[in-house]
Amino acid sequence: MITIIGCGPVGSYLGCLLSDKGINNTIIEEHKDIGRPEQCTGLISRNMEDIIPKDWVQKAIQNKVNGAVISCGKESFEVVAKEPKAYVFDRALFDQAIAEKAKDKGSRVLLGHKYLSHNISERGLKIGLKTGNKSVYHQSSVLVGADGPCSKVAKNSGLYGERRFWIGSQAILRAKKPFFEKDKVYVYLDKRYSDGFFAWVVPINEEKAKAGLASLSNPAEHLKRFLNDRFGRSGSDFAVEGRYGGLIPIYKRMPLQNEQKNIFLAGDAALQCKAISGGGVLNGMLAAKELSNAVSSGDFDYEKRLGKIRNNLWMHSLIRNKLNSMDDRRKGHLLNDLNNYNVKKVLEEKGDMDFPKKFVFNLLLSKPGLIKYLL
């Protein structure tokens, strides 16, 4: 029996994979309503279609985007592909759809059950849960923490380590005079809006967008400044229909399984988030696939299977650190240098928000002068 803590997309997808292999599994979720409260922008690339069929989550799609406008100060850079590159999802519906698929395949899903602790004995794992005012226990052979960036499974297993987070803050806006186009996402690299990350506008439709940012500190103050600068006065130029936030874990290589090989971490609990964009769904799902293979093979060598994922996340971290080392003037120079026909052609044809390795070499070939930003 495999017990998964967390019914987000990574935990539910792991349940799907295990059920497909005939392995009994139970997914434990603290909340009674999957995906609530929403804590994510919901922008996921079409690479997702290489992992799960699109029809699993078709009803959760809010918008499709095929372009991006990146700016800093007065400089900006725009790239537009001929077809959609990413989907904007209602993350609650997205999470619910994958959880429903896990149930259909045979996973047992327990909602409203809060994970408290676990004990390891010769009989396996005794997992303590709380539902309502009642304490219950669940017996299992393997425990997987897919319970978010502040993973209690990681804390109780000695796998938590030293973690750092960006703090995300986002508003759902209805703009009276939208400056955005529905099929583009907008990224703002100005230090005025974030220390260590960036601000964004992700359209839901022609008038409505998710506008937010992540920062190492003062996210509420940064968000107020960003909304005032970009949208005008609240109530006069735009209306806020909702606010939410969450933590984005900063990736670092760390142990993701215990010595006994019966406790594992995946997704945000394993810090498997891209440092360039903060997205964690796709890499978390890829890690879930490796974990399911490790369990089904009987070797339980999960970490040995994570090489490609870790290399990809390392490259994201390298690029993020380079961007964070630049002041706004330097970022403006970079955007100006990217405004080049050959560069745009490479990005339009090969650009990938998940796997920079696929296009960075071609990008440098198209304009060798860009190497100065990596040195």
Structural domains in the chain, CATH included, are 2-36+91-162+254-316 (3.50.50.60), 325-373 (no CATH)
Give 118's pLDDT tier (boundaries 50, 70, 90): very high
pLDDT tens digits, one per residue of 267-285: 999 999 999 999 999 999 9
pTM of the model: 0.95
Specify the pairing of strand 61-65 against strand 86-89: antiparallel
What average pLDDT does the segment 99-114 reach? 98
Dihedral sign (CA 226, 326, 334, 75): positive
Q: What is the mean pLDDT of the chain?
A: 95
Residue 148 has pLDDT above 80, yes or no: yes
Residue 235 has pLDDT above 70, yes or no: no
Residue 190's CB is within 10 A of a number of other CB atoms, namely: 19
User: pLDDT at position 179, please?
Assistant: 82
DSSP 334: H
Map tokens 């003037």 to a residue: 329
- Hey, is 185 helix, strand or coil? strand
> What are the backbone angles phi and psi of residue 92, rounded to the nearest 5°?
-65, -45
DSSP 234: B
What average pLDDT does the segment 297-315 reach? 97
User: pLDDT at position 39, please?
Assistant: 79
Residue with more model confidence, 292 or 351: 292
User: pLDDT at position 236, please?
Assistant: 75
d(CA 333, CA 204): 31
Starting at the edge strand that comes first in sequence, how are the strands of the sheet with 114-121 ordered? 114-121, 124-131, 134-140
Nearest to 32 by CA among 125, 131, 124: 131
Amino acid at 290: E
Give 176's pLDDT tier (boundaries 50, 70, 90): confident
DSSP 80: E
Give 175's pLDDT tier (boundaries 50, 70, 90): confident
Tokens of 173: 């806006």
Residue 203 has pLDDT above 70, yes or no: yes
Check if the beta carbon of residue 267 is closer than 8 Å to that of residue 146. yes
